[in-house]
Amino acid sequence: MKPASPKPTPLNIAQLSGQSQSHLQEIFPGHFLHRDVAAAYLFLVEQAAKEGIALRLASGFRSFDRQLAIWNAKARGERPVVDSRGAPVIMCELDERDQVFALLRWSALPGASRHHWGSDMDIWDSAAVSDDYQLQLSPDEYAAGGPFEHCSRWLDELMSDGSTEFFRPYKGSQEDGVAAEPWHLSFRPLATVCEAALSPEVLRQLIANTEICLQGAILENLDEIYSRFICLQC
């Protein structure tokens, strides 16, 4: 029986922005989700097992500091940046505004990542690949012919018939927004509350007080960033 979803408790600013872990529960060693999401996720794992799917977390909660490190490394050229088709982006050929938007295709703005909330996760099927498989979290892995096609199709069916409260927030349907991420699941009851609480004003204050690459371009374009990449309900 599907577990009843508890009424979500609004997160405080520190929790919402990934600067606190007080709202979390460890699901597996090193993997954390919001305590109100744990039962729903474990039930999803049980359902998947009946279909021969070994549902695993590639990523659950991600802290502000971790997201900031990812952002800064990409902005400095220490990690690759790709476009929605997976082609390399030559960051030095772009102005700062375009650099920000190039990063946002695949990387959330620190403080605005849905992974901060504990409601969101990246999943894969360990039963579909060998033990030494190098997980990429690429669209091809979840598409027809990819190793996680069965898992992806099964999730599609669950979501379409209302059998789960998980959904895919990033379908790539919003023009020039976040690229499609078929591996990314979000627990709607909690995520909806968190998204509504994360205002541009909260983000503006946070970014202004953070040592982050491209800070000026982020602040100058924050309203557009918010509507295109953060607020899915806008």
Domain borders along the chain are 13-230
For residue 4, the model assigns a pLDDT of 64
The pLDDT tens digits for 68-86 are: 999 999 999 999 999 888 8
Q: What pLDDT, on the 0 to 100 scale, is given for residue 7?
A: 77
What pTM was computed for the model? 0.93
Condensed to tens digits (0 to 9), the pLDDT of residues 36-55 reads 999 999 999 999 999 999 99
Q: Which fold has domain 13-230?
A: Muramoyl-pentapeptide Carboxypeptidase; domain 2 (3.30.1380)
Residue 219 reports pLDDT greater than 80: yes
Side by side, the strands of the sheet bearing 166-167 are: 55-59, 120-125, 184-187, 166-167
Contact 118, 189 (CB under 8 A): no
- Which residues have a Cβ under 8 Å from the Cβ of 25 and sit 6 or more positions away? 32, 33, 34, 35, 38
